[in-house]
Amino acid sequence: MLKELLQIYITSARVGALTFGGGYAMLPIVQREVVEGKKWCTEEEVLDYYALAQCMPGIIMVNTLGFMGHKRKGTAGAIAAGLGAVTPSIIIITLIAVFLTAFADVPTVQNAFAGIRVCVCVLIFNSILKLWKNSVIDKKCLLIFLAVAICSLVLDITPVAFVIIAAVLGILLHSFGKGGAGKK
C-alpha cells in the first residue's frame, strides 16, 4: 500500500509541478499522466472529478487529484494526492518569493513570464478542445453549452450556479427526451 501511495504522491507532484495557469491547464497533464500513463481513471471520470472540484472550495487541481487518489486508495490516497499536488507549489512559491523580488523588473524575466502566459493559453485551448469532444456529445448537450455560454456572458453570477443550472438542464433534457445521456 505504501508503494502505491508514493506513486500517487509522485504522480500528483508531477501534475502540480507542470501545471501553470490554473485548473484548465492541468487537464492535458492529468490526461497524459493519470489516464494514458497510469490508467487510473477514464477521461469521463477525470471530467466528472474536475466538474465536482469546481463546485467545491479550494484549489481545483488539489480537489481533482484528491478524488483520483481517493478512487485508488481511499482517504490515504486522497491525502497523498493532495500533498503531492501542493508540494511543488510550496517549493516554487518559496523560491520565487526569495529571488523574484530582486529580478522582477529585469526585462528577460518579464519576457519569460509573457511567454509562459502564451503557453498557458495554448494549454487551456487544447483542454477546451478535449472537453468539447467528451462533453458536447449530442444536440441536448450543445443546447446546454449554448445556454450556459450565453448566460455567462450576460449574467454576473457565480460559476457554481451555472454548474447547478447545467445539471438541472441535463436531467430535464435527457429525462424527457428520447433516452439518456449520450444517445443521439
Residue with C-alpha cell 471530467? 47
Q: What is the pLDDT of residues 87-113, one digit of tens each?
A: 998 998 888 888 877 787 889 888 988
Q: CA torsion, points 115, 149, 140, 164, in degrees to nearest 10? A: 100
Q: Running DSSP on this structure, what letter comes out for residue 134?
A: H
- Exposed, middle or buried, 77 (CB in 10 Å: 0-12/13-18/19+)? buried
Spell out the domain ranges in the chain.
2-133, 136-184
Amino acid at 16: G
Look at residue 180 and tell me whether its pLDDT is greater than 70.
no
Whole-angstrom CA distances from 14 to 11, 80, 147 are 5, 13, 36
Between the alpha carbon of residue 115 and those of residues 109, 110, 131, 139, 172, the distances in Å are 10, 9, 24, 38, 44
Q: What is the pLDDT of residues 56-88, one digit of tens each?
A: 888 888 999 999 999 999 999 999 999 999 999
- The C-alpha atoms of residue 93 and residue 100 are separated, in whole angstroms, by 10
* Rounded CA separation 64/85 (Å): 10
pLDDT digits (tens, 9 = 90+) for 124-144: 888 788 888 888 888 889 999
State how far the Cα of 8 lies from the Cα of 72, in Å rounded to an integer.
Answer: 8
Predicted local distance difference test score (pLDDT) of residue 184: 43
